[in-house]
Amino acid sequence: MKSISGIFIRFFAGIWLTLLFVGALVWGASSFFTEAPSNYGSFEHSPAAERAIGTALGIARWGGEDALITWLKDPEVNTRPEVFVVDPSGHEISGRSIPQKAAESLAHSGPQEGVYTMRGHGRHMRPFQGYRFFAVRTDIPPSPIRLIMWKMPWWGWALIAALISVFVAGSVAWTSTRPIKKLQWAMQKASQGVFDVRIANEVGHEHDEIGELARQFDAMAERIHGLFERQKRLFHDVSHELRSPLARISVAVELAEKTPEKSHEFLQRIEGDVQVLNAMVDELLTYARLDENAVIHFERTDLVPLLEAITDDADFEGSATGTHVTLQSPDSILMNMHVDSLMRAVENLVRNALRYSGPGQQVSVVAKEENEHVVITVTDSGPGMDPSELEKIFEPFVRGKNQPTGGGFGLGLAIAKRAVQRHGGTLTATNVEPHGLCMRIDIPLSGPNAVTSSTATA
């Protein structure tokens, strides 16, 4: 099963974090509004405050001032609300600081709600005459931030939630759209014909769809860039190859006009150059027909009889110089192939090997089945090739340094390479000891569809 996509995880995480932040803010706001009293730091005259003041009065009546001070200083019992006792001089008898709001209220003269002033009440309370008892809610530490939060209206909380959600959502959107913008820029460059732009390393995102898309774009751009370069090189090479026979034809026409008595000789020369041009055009058309986008049809065919026909013809051709062509193969190899293109490829390899082989040498053709593939090797005993040329010899119009004079246009191996690739196979060249060259074709027996299917399955 395919793993959960990276973009899905990113958007899910962004939305989830946003909801989490908003939920936390709602919870925090509700908690603060629930716990924080509206009259924090002021006189409280709730039933709880009245009971707390009553307790303080009882302790003062039966325990005296020392017992009252001890009780007032004990945060375990004197809390929610906290009771304060102020003597007639305005000092809190236990030495504690009175909250600012309560202290400011005490400064006002006259009776105040929530403040109990001792007057009379018998001999036990006589020492407390003029003392003022009051309760203040002080159980939550009055830090500035929490005080601000307690006083914040509902629209303030809504604004904070909106800002945080916008920040989180914006961060997710930025990290997700930035590489897409980069990809859009690269595609715009490609539409302008600039194919040397690569963005996978800049985009990053190695483990999600955006990174995969960037890598596929780089591969596409690399391929198109290579196609354009090969096309330009092909046009250059074709024009170069056409120039020589056309120049000879032009000279022959000019000489025929000047020396009519020799016109027959010049016409023969022109005919020979025209045949050269026809042969070149034919090979160019064959090369073009094997383009990856061209439709070719495959059929199940026995390869061995076709190889026998090619090697027999080549052996007959080589007999003039004492060069022999041999074939080693099983009795039958059934495979899906496009007969014309694949046999043209094998024939080009055999004739290329025959061209490089000297008198009395041998060209060996071996065909066998190996791991659901057919492997065909064509080995000669010629001089071999410079290692630096082995990768280039399959390009159009490329000839090796050891190419014999009049050895063709340099399209034969390019045609063979493209034909093998259309069959889902590979064509490679290696030098052999002590001298010679080995061409190896490796093609799946079931044709190119097997390569596509196996790649998709992987």
pLDDT digits (tens, 9 = 90+) for 180-191: 777 778 888 777
Query: What residues contact residue 386 under an 8 Å CB cut-off, 6+ apart?
Result: 400, 401
Architecture of domain 47-139: 2-Layer Sandwich (3.30)
pLDDT tens, 300-334?
Answer: 999 999 999 999 988 888 888 888 999 999 999 99
- Give tens-digit pLDDT for 277-302: 787 777 677 666 666 556 778 899 99
Q: Which has more pLDDT, 228 or 374? A: 374
Q: What is residue 134's predicted lDDT score, i.e. its pLDDT?
A: 93
Q: What number is the average pLDDT over the span 440-456?
A: 68
Sign of CA dihedral 138, 141, 147, 153: negative
pTM higher than the cut 0.85 = no
Contact 65, 127 (CB under 8 A): yes
Q: Which of 421, 48, 47, 10 is nearest to 177 (CA)?
A: 10
Residues 333, 441: contact at Cβ < 8 Å?
Answer: no
Q: Are strands 115-117 and 132-136 parallel, antiparallel or unpaired?
A: antiparallel
User: Domain extents for the chain?
Assistant: 47-139, 295-457
CATH superfamily of 295-457: Histidine kinase-like ATPase, C-terminal domain (3.30.565.10)
Does 458 or 224 have the greater pLDDT score?
224
Q: Which two tokens stand for residue 43?
A: 């006189």
Residue 275 pLDDT greater than 60, yes or no: yes
Find the range with the poorest average confidence among 117-126, 379-388, 420-429.
117-126
- Do residues 137 and 41 lie in contact, with contact meaning Cβ atoms separated by under 8 Å? yes
pLDDT at residue 191, as a whole number: 79
**Which residues, in sequence order, are CB contacts of 293 under 8 Å at separation 6+?**
none
Residue given tokens 């006259």 in the structure block: 110
Which residue type is seen at 42? S
